[in-house]
Amino acid sequence: MRSATTILLGILVISFVYFSIVLIESGNVGVRKTLGKVNPEEVTPGLNFRMPVVTRITEFVGKEIAIDLTDLTPKAADNLSLRDMDVTVFYKASSAHIADLYVKYANAHQYDRESDSYFPAYRLVFREARRAAYETVAKIDSLTMHKKREQIADSIKLRLQQTLDSNDDGIFEVTRVVIRSVLTDPSIEESIREAVANQKRLEAKQVMVEIERKNAEIEAIRAQGIANANNIINKTLTKEYLQHELNLTLQKFAETGANTIVVPANMQGFDMILPTDKLMKQ
């Protein structure tokens, strides 16, 4: 009888200790609630004691949290809806304000079975992130959507951060936004392909125009060079220089002794220095 009582007391003690100790993981915080009243001081990571039944400690994630927005169909600036858009938003809540969030957004926290803890104000951030995504896409034309993933992500992050700060300044931090997928309507995709093809054709024509322009510049430079050369030649071909060259040429003919030189009658202004027996004048 005594041993049974001892065993029973041992079980009760073990049960009391088990339900009295709460382990808060590193990076997380807890919120203590006693008889329905929330303690404004957050419970720090490590072993924490509570009174079973009377006191409850709820653990909240203090690290970065991911929110997956899938199967979104926002409407673009040209009034055409996307077929599918998937976005992941990462955010953190200030560990020093978890108790306040616990009270303010009592129905917005999301339980995570894997970590056995809660994501603070998860549903609130989810709703505002979805709205930010739709508002961002509404400002961008569908034909250029596939080129602006980074711009879309930055805009969603900025819009969401501004919205969260307007209600709870300095409590939430949107750490990053990732655009996982952007699928447009098939008709839009065909327009995009046609636009890309037209752009490539335009680029090809611009290259050809540039080539022709360069060729024209080369021809102009070549023509200018020829003109400059002719100008230099014309300046050097004086009457005296031509007389000198003519005399040298005639001298060579005269020295051979076997040539007959015919001098045109219209060669006025040139003096002929030749042996008279070799010169016939027309």
Task: Classify residue 185 by burial, with Cβ atoms within 10 Å: 0-12, 13-18, 19+.
Answer: middle
- Name residue, tokens 């030749």: 274
- pLDDT beyond 90 at 90: yes
Task: Report d(CA 249, CA 155) in Å as an integer.
Answer: 87
Most confident stretch, 106-115, 156-165, 192-201, 239-248: 156-165
Q: Which CATH number fits domain 65-184: 3.30.479.30, 1.10.287.130, 3.40.50.300, 3.40.190.10?
A: 3.30.479.30
103's CB contacts (< 8 A; 6+ apart) are: 38
- pLDDT beyond 50 at 5: yes
What is the predicted pLDDT for the residue at 226?
78
- What is the arithmetic mean of pLDDT over 217-228? 78
Structural domain boundaries in the chain: 2-60, 65-184, 187-236, 239-281
At 104, which amino acid appears?
K
pLDDT digits (tens, 9 = 90+) for 50-75: 677 788 889 999 999 999 999 999 99
Residue 281: half-sphere exposure toward Cβ, Cα within 13 Å: 8
The mean of the pLDDT values for the chain is 81
- What is the arithmetic mean of pLDDT over 238-261? 67
Measure the CA angle with vertex 29, ends 24 and 33; round to 5°: 90
